[in-house]
Amino acid sequence: MTNAEDQPTAELTILQLLAGTVLDANQNITFQIFDILRDLIVSVRLRPGQRLSEKEIAAALCTSKTPVREAMIRLDEIKLVRIVPQSGTYVTKISVSRYRTACFIRLQLELGAVRGAALTPDPHQSIAVLDGILSQTAKAIAQEDDAAFCTLDDAFHRQLFIMAGFKDAWSTARRTQFDVNRVRHIRRMQRIITGPAQLADHQAIVDAIRAQDGARAEDALRAHIGDLDRQISALVRDDKMRGFIALEDSI
């Protein structure tokens, strides 16, 4: 583990982050804890590499270790934490190899989605939905509303999968994309604005789908995703990511 001083921003203790959180005793405790921790990790409020203590979390949430541990097991299973026997439980670092794999998976699935969307038999209504999302996105960018932008970005991609007839494919594959989301969150925290460029890319994709031109839609998507290897080396070189990433998926 690196020192807190080495990190770009101050490391918040889990205790600070959970302060004031109360659980609903009538709902399943394990899943409440799971949701809380997953959100904290994906939004990088819990830092990659940070150590988590089952006991400490249990105390902060006024519960016993068992549900905390069971939530940790689920988080370990989706590789958001790594439980190291007799040592501790750590928030996983962002794995470059996992990130690269996730980008490949994302690209391939979205290629299928835009291809399918371009073949939608009666596309008018579906395309109207896409147009609506894009115009709302433009508003969100103008108002610098990050949260809305993210939601709309998500809605855009989901709509493509719906049009292709594979509504569930994206929600299934999202489980492989946590590291991509963490990188995005870090970029966004550092006010790295890519909104306008993304909007233009999305517009090009919609135009191709409107023209029912699957090949052009695929090309537009490839352009949108960009060159993976260059993106990877930029990620590895990025000083702001230092301490957050690991080449392989250790810790």
Partner DNA sequence: ATATTAGTTCTAGCATACAAGTATCCCAGT
Partner DNA sequence: ACTGGGATACTTGTATGCTAGAACTAATAT
Which one of DNA, a second copy, none is in contact with 86 (Cβ closer than 5 to 8 A by kind)? DNA
Q: What is the dihedral of CA 227, 228, 230, 235, to 10 degrees?
A: 140
Q: Which of 7, 51, 63, 70 binds a second copy (CB under 8 A)?
A: 70
Q: How far apart are CA 215 and CA 213, in angstroms?
A: 6
How far apart CA 95 and CA 178 sit, in angstroms, is: 10
By a kind-dependent CB cut-off of 5 to 8 A, residue 3 interacts, out of a second copy, DNA, none, with none
Residues that bind DNA (CB under 7 A): 1, 26, 28-30, 52-56, 63-67, 69-70, 83-89
| Pairwise CA distance, residues 140 & 119, whole Å | 29
Place of tokens 């997953």: 38
**CA-closest candidate to residue 40, choices 26, 30, 50:** 50
The piece of 8-16, 49-57, 77-85, 127-135 that touches a second copy (CB under 8 A) is: 77-85
Least distance (Å) between residue 249 CB and DNA: 17
Least spacing, CB of residue 41 vs a second copy, in Å: 15
Return the HEC string of 61-104: CCCCHHHHHHHHHHHHHCCCEEEECCCEEEECCEEHHHHHHHHH
Residues contacting residue 163 through CB under 8 Å, at least 6 positions apart: 113, 116, 117, 120, 123, 126, 209
Residue 166's binding partner out of a second copy, DNA, none, with CB under 5 to 8 Å set by partner kind? a second copy
CB of 154 vs a second copy, minimal distance in Å:
18
Q: How far is the CB of 98 from a second copy (least distance, A)?
A: 7
Residue numbers 26-55 binding a second copy by CB under 8 A = 28
248 near 91, Cβ under 8 Å? no
**Least distance (Å) between residue 56 CB and a second copy:** 20
Q: Which of 13, 63, 101, 231 binds a second copy (CB under 8 A)?
A: 101
Site residues for a second copy, window 183-202 (CB under 8 A)? none
Question: In the bound complex, what is the minimum distance in angstroms from residue 61's beta carbon to DNA?
Answer: 9
Look at residue 180 and give its three-state secondary structure.
Answer: helix
Do 76 and 33 contact (CB within 8 A), yes or no? no
Q: Which is nearer to a second copy, 109 or 217 (CB)?
A: 109
For position 166 contacting a second copy by CB under 8 A, the verdict is yes
111 binds, among a second copy, DNA, none (CB under 5 to 8 A by kind): a second copy
